[in-house]
Amino acid sequence: MKSRFYSAKMVFVDSIDLDDYIELDSSVRAFEKLKESIEKPLKMILVFGRPGTGKSILLNRLQTKLKHQKEIHYFDTPTVDEKEFFLKLYGVLNQNETFSKEDVTLTMIIEQSKKIRGEREIVILLDEAQIYSSEMMEKIRLISDTRAVKFVVSLHKTDNEELVAKEHFKSRIWEVIELKNATVEDQQSYVHKKLLKKNLFEIANSIKSNEMKLIHAFTKGNYRECNKLMYTIFEISEYYDTNEPTKIRYDKVSSKIIEMAALKLGYLHA
């Protein structure tokens, strides 16, 4: 029989599956702001934040929620080859036309965009945009100038914010939506809601405020790091539950197990 902690562990497998989406006040505000932004006459919108702050799931959710109201396409995996990117975008612009990879050029995309302006407004969600080169982003900007295609660009924030300082972002972005790490309260709500969603009530109740503060201190409120730490906490708990049940409490996640998990992940050094 599987340990009760196995199910809790699996709750925190990191994914962008919308079935795993947890609605928090901060995520609702970000979603509503992005939804409002794409209604404005903007050519490019920047979604900005550190890895693990929920950018990908925000774009995924936007595409899912609005796909029946708008012509919206989610480019989740960056295409660093220019010809491949142009081919993919041209396929969006020309819904039924067949063409070969060699045929597609930037000029053709711009001309086709101008043809459909006023008839269609296409929204392209570009995830992991830091992988695109400056030259590619400049071409994307030229396409957005046609005002037939609007780009939502998701970008990692770095310590020195050098990516945002790049020339193509200085004057090209008219709306910036920044996602931040969670507060202690938001992170506690996130952890509890994920467990409660899978009917793991006792385990959710075993995570007290003081232990949540410790979890937040190790993860800095980052959702991805939180998933990793919670997975490891329950993995360790599962081991004790299976092999040495007298050494584990079931009414409370002990700070000792949290520290063991932090040590295993390198947040804490012996």
Kindly tell me the sign of the dihedral angle through the C-alpha atoms of 49, 54, 56, 60: negative
Neighbours of 190 (CB within 10 A): 22
What pLDDT score does 21 carry? 79
User: CA 182 → CA 2, 219, 224, distances in Å?
Assistant: 32, 10, 11
Query: Which residue spans within 108-200 are E strands per DSSP?
Result: 122-126, 149-156, 175-179
136-160: string of b/e by CB count within 10 Å (b at 16+)?
bbebbbebbebebbbbbbbbbbeee
Q: How do 71-75 and 44-49 pair as beta strands?
A: unpaired
Alpha carbon distance 241, 191 (integer Å): 21
Taking the alpha carbons at both ends of the chain, their separation in whole angstroms is 34
CATH class for domain 25-179? alpha beta
Q: Where are the domains of the chain?
A: 4-17+182-265, 25-179
- List, for residues 6-52, the tens digit of each pLDDT value: 999 999 998 766 677 788 888 889 999 999 999 988 888 999 888 88
* Model confidence at 160: pLDDT above 60: no
Q: 58 with 29: CB under 8 angstroms?
A: no
- List, for residues 172-188, the tens digit of each pLDDT value: 557 888 899 999 999 99
